[in-house]
Amino acid sequence: MRRSTRLLLLGLIGSLTACRTQVKGSRSSSIPEKYQSVYHLPTLRAGVTLNDITGSNSLGAPVHISLANRTHSSLLFVSSPHCPFCRINFHNWRTLKSGVSNDQIVWLDTTGTVDALYLKSYGISSDSRVLASSDFSSQLGIDPLPTPTTILVSPRGVVLWIGSGVLSDEQVKSLGLAMRT
């Protein structure tokens, strides 16, 4: 088999695995070991300290957010306007957002531009902390960065929990409790 055909097949397997990951909310470690060297698997995990995040706001102005030295935990919601699983997960994210202050939530749009109409259609207010960048995968240490992804970060900037895919009711309940303590 030619190398280009082999790479095409591996890419197809990766795409199918990514789709399955989104549907089931499972981890990327389900990729067979012999193919893992082809992929950049997620390196972000609990216990890792996040650096500051940069992007642009809905007006295109640069924004810099520090996740360390805060009084409360933060939730990062990583999404894309074109992701069908993000649309499903917005209900869960709104539920989590309803019980905490606006500055505890950071919306990350992976397309590189903030679509104000899209945000408004999902009830994300204009005073919410929304960042857009096509570079979040390198900033967060996940390549490729799956959407939707939910990340719970301690007041010191340490990742406490990371989940890809649509959140379950149990996860929403646990994250809601963690954000209020």
Dump the DSSP string for the chain: --HHHHHHHHHHHHHHHHHHHHHHT--GGGS-GGGGGGS------TTPBPPPEEEE-TTS-EEEE--SS-SS-EEEEEE-TT-HHHHHHHHHHHHHHHTS-GGGEEEEETTSS--HHHHHHTT--TTSEEEE-S-HHHHHT-SS--SSEEEEE-TTSBEEEEEESSPPHHHHHHHHHHHH-
Domain with CATH 3.40.30.10 in the chain: 42-180
Report the pLDDT value the prediction gives residue 33, as an integer from 0 to 100: 53
Q: For 96-131, write each residue's pLDDT tens digit.
A: 988 788 889 898 888 887 777 877 888 787 677 888
Superfamily name with CATH number, domain 42-180: Glutaredoxin (3.40.30.10)
Average pLDDT over residues 130-134: 83
Decide if pLDDT at 52 tops 80: yes
Least confident of 2-16, 82-96, 133-147: 2-16
Q: Please state whether the predicted TM-score (pTM) of the whole model is above 0.75.
A: no
Average pLDDT over residues 55-64: 82
